[in-house]
């Protein structure tokens, strides 16, 4: 026989008082509002994603710096006066790990840019954050990478304060490592024709960065 039971109005189960329910609701509302603000309208779930989204919505003006390239010039002049969209990355010439991968990707991008006839609209720029990378080191690196200066320029920044200000603005963190190496993050930074940081793409996806650069160039 199936046994049944019922709970009457004298049940010992306690109900949460109204003030407690109201407090919980308020906490949920405040928590949701904080999450909405932290994720920029639930559009992102991490600080890095939020930074990239903010830049895409409002391109950043980069701090100026005196570049040491085959010819010395201000960064602002290199970026704005040229009129092309720039795909920018940071490296150091003696790196055998991440920077090597970035160099290989830029080699491939250089080939694609030339093959598609985009060299009048998109160019590549690698800036070293290693103070040991003098003109001779940069020239040797450019030779190893078969960099065509009409498409791919390689430079460094002599003044430490200017170098750090640029790294901070674009979000590159560089930490000293044993044996004269560095630990650092990497990305592909797209600088628009007005010299502003407009987009940041993952370094593992150079093809996407190139397509974004083409769009920024108006092609």
In tens, the pLDDT along 4-44 reads: 343 344 444 444 444 555 544 444 444 444 434 333 344 34
Taking only the tens place, the pLDDT of each residue in 50-102 is: 778 888 889 999 999 999 876 678 998 888 888 899 999 999 998 877 777 88
Report the chain's C-alpha Rg in angstroms: 26
DSSP assignment letter at 65? -
Please list, residue by residue across 27-62, b when 16 or more beta carbons sit within 10 angstroms of its beta carbon and e when fewer do: eeeeeeeeeeeeeeeeebeeeeeeebbebeeebbeb
Hey, where are the domains in the chain?
17-58, 60-217
CATH superfamily of the domain spanning 60-217: Glutaredoxin (3.40.30.10)
pTM as predicted: 0.77
Residues 121 and 108: beta-carbon distance below 8 Å: no
């Amino acid at each position: 026989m199936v046994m049944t039971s019922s709970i009457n109005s004298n049940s010992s189960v306690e109900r949460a008082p109204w003030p407690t329910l109201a407090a919980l609701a308020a906490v949920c509302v405040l928590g949701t509002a904080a999450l909405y603000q932290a994720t920029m309208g639930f559009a992102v779930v991490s600080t890095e994603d939020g930074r990239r989204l903010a830049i895409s919505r409002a391109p950043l003006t980069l701090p100026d710096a005196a570049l040491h390239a085959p010819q010395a010039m201000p960064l602002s002049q290199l970026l704005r006066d040229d009129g092309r969209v720039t795909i920018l990355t940071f490296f150091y010439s003696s790196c055998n790990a991440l920077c090597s991968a970035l160099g290989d990707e830029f080699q491939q991008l250089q080939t694609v840019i030339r093959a598609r006839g985009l060299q009048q609209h998109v160019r590549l720029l690698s800036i070293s954050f290693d103070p040991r990378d003098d003109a001779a080191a940069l020239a040797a690196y450019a030779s190893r990478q078969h960099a065509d200066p009409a498409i791919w320029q390689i430079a460094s920044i002599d003044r430490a304060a200017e170098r750090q200000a640029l790294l901070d603005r674009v979000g590159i963190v560089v930490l000293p490592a044993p044996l004269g190496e560095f630990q650092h993050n990497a990305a592909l930074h797209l600088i628009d024709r007005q010299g502003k940081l407009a987009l940041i793409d993952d370094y593992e996806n150079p093809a996407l960065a190139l397509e974004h650069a083409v769009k920024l160039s108006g092609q």
